[in-house]
Amino acid sequence: MFRSRSRRRLFACVGVFVIITSACADPLPVLRIQGSNTIGAALGPALVEGLFSSQNMQVEVVPQAPNEWSVLAHPASGPALEVEIDAHGTTTGFAALHAGTADLAAASRAIHPSEQAALYGQMDAVSSGAEQVIGVDGVAVIVHPGNPLRSLEANQLAEVFAGRVTQWEQLGVPLGAIHLLARDERSGTWETFRDLVLGPRGLTLSATAARFEASDSLSKAVSDDPQAIGFIGLPYIRKARALAIADVGTRALLPTTETVATEDYLLSRRLYLYKAADTLNPWAGALVRFAQSDAGQQVVARQGFVAQQVHAVRVQPTTGMPEPLLAVAREGQRLTVTFRFAGASAALDSKAMADIDRLATFLASRPEERQRLVLIGFGDTKSEPERALLLSRLRAMTIRRELAKRGIAPRQVLGLGAALPVASNAYEAGRSRNRRVEVWLQPAGR
């Protein structure tokens, strides 16, 4: 049973004689969203507002308590509608979904196996459609704008947040003691940082780190403190400055729209909505569909995250590019979609299946680009290099097969094995990131 918590109305009922209308009655709660502060603080309310506005309703976002909102809307007739959003961390969203106190869990990291088992049992969240990727984000490592440091290697970053490097002078910066700021234990942003930076290196967060529930509070604290360093989602960089991050054997990359869209940036992560296994709430499905639509992805971009729409960009050739890729990169373009796979298999993950359709839509009105399409598969290191080459080509062939179902025939399919890693192959998170298929357009006229 929903419990309306709104304290205001879209329109005040004024005058001595009040005519009772839907605007003055208690709103009808129709949807409950709990979970990620990264999503819920601004993107969640904006998506709900966009959904209601697309149906010609007037909308107001009403703060209720710290990190809690109500989104109120008036349809042409009938009572006002209310969506409740609580943004106290990804973990709280899965717990609320399990307890039946939420219809959607907003998550800034993928569901853990234990949460999957508790919520869905033997049902797979991906194949069932319960898991929906609504955008891409990068966990930005931020410092004070006056800090002269420009980049960090992942091992250095881990040692900083583990408390092994405690002075800025150890990084070549004359600022004294390093002040660590981190999101709280319930945060998906924290879990992403832990899983990608600290965990693979067998380290834990220093006990001296100050913890924050709200993203904007952490960002402000860093921008106010010349000695501080923290990590945050892209929209919350604000007055702070992001560092370029490198892994062993890879280039240092800033979290830009292009590097996050392709998930080449080491700390890229996906943003999710999860539905309950047995939900009958039509508004939950409506919000997911809106979030995946062009209009919804425009909302994602306006909120400072990276939308999943496909674009062509020029890429500067770099040292170490294999000759087949270099030949394309010199004058060609890369598309801002990279296909990744479930585990070590050639099976597409939940984002990849939706990206196939996005790529097909992008190419549908561009017959010239369709003739220049190149799929390039990569993989992690194997004991036998020939096996890595074979698997990388098989993954590219998987994408070709899906595109063929949509009437698209790539001009070329390549497998480059373990060449050009975007993360270290020393740990599983890095190997998983390296198992990918990039999409390129050959130079015109070839």
Structure-block tokens of residue 223: 């921008």
Rounded Cα–Cα distance for residues 119 and 276 (Å)? 7
pLDDT at residue 19 greater than cutoff 80: no
Residue 5's pLDDT band (cuts 50, 70, 90): low
Q: b/e per residue, 195-225, with b = 16+ CB within 10 A?
A: bbbbebeebebbeebeebbbbeebbbbbbeb
pLDDT at residue 344 greater than cutoff 80: no
- Residue 78 gets the label, from left (phi > 0), alpha (psi -120 to 50) or beta, of left
pLDDT at residue 35 greater than cutoff 90: yes
Rounded Cα–Cα distance for residues 298 and 318 (Å)? 31
Structure-block tokens of residue 407: 């009437």
Cβ neighbors of 280 (< 8 A, separation 6 or more) are none
Q: Are 257 and 264 in contact (CB under 8 A)?
A: no
Residue 343's pLDDT band (cuts 50, 70, 90): low
pTM of the predicted structure, to 2 decimals? 0.90
Q: Which residue has the tokens 């009437």?
A: 407
Report the relative pairing of strands 179-183 and 228-233 from DSSP bridges: parallel
Q: b/e per residue, 265-298, with b = 16+ CB within 10 A?
A: bbbbbbbbbbbbeeeeeebbbbbbebbbeeebbe
* Higher pLDDT among residues 270 and 353, named by residue: 270
Structure-block tokens of residue 2: 């929903």
**Can you list the alpha helix ranges (DSSP code H) found in 69-168?**
90-99, 113-120, 154-161
User: Interior CA angle at 348 toward 187 and 288, to 5°?
Assistant: 50
pLDDT at residue 7 greater than cutoff 60: no
- Average predicted confidence (pLDDT) for the chain: 91
Please give the backbone phi and psi of residue 251, each rounded to the nearest 5 degrees, phi first. -75, 150
Q: What is the mean pLDDT of residues 272-295?
A: 93
- Burial degree of 141 (CB within 10 A; 0-12, 13-18, 19+): buried
Distances (CA, A) of 41 to 63, 78, 179, 310, 368: 10, 29, 25, 26, 42
Q: Cβ atoms within 10 A of the Cβ of 386, count?
A: 9
Q: Which contiguous run of DSSP H or E holds residue 352?
A: helix 350-364
Report the relative pairing of strands 104-107 and 28-35 from DSSP bridges: parallel
Q: Which amino acid is at 216?
A: D
* Higher pLDDT among residues 370 and 127, named by residue: 370
Residue 298 bridge partners (DSSP): none
Q: According to the model, what pLDDT value does residue 136 have?
A: 97
Structural domains of the chain in order of their starting residue, each with its CATH number: 28-132+271-302 (3.40.190.10), 137-260 (3.40.190.10), 310-441 (3.30.1330.60)
Cβ neighbors of 402 (< 8 A, separation 6 or more) are 348, 356
Q: According to the model, what pLDDT value does residue 1 have?
A: 43
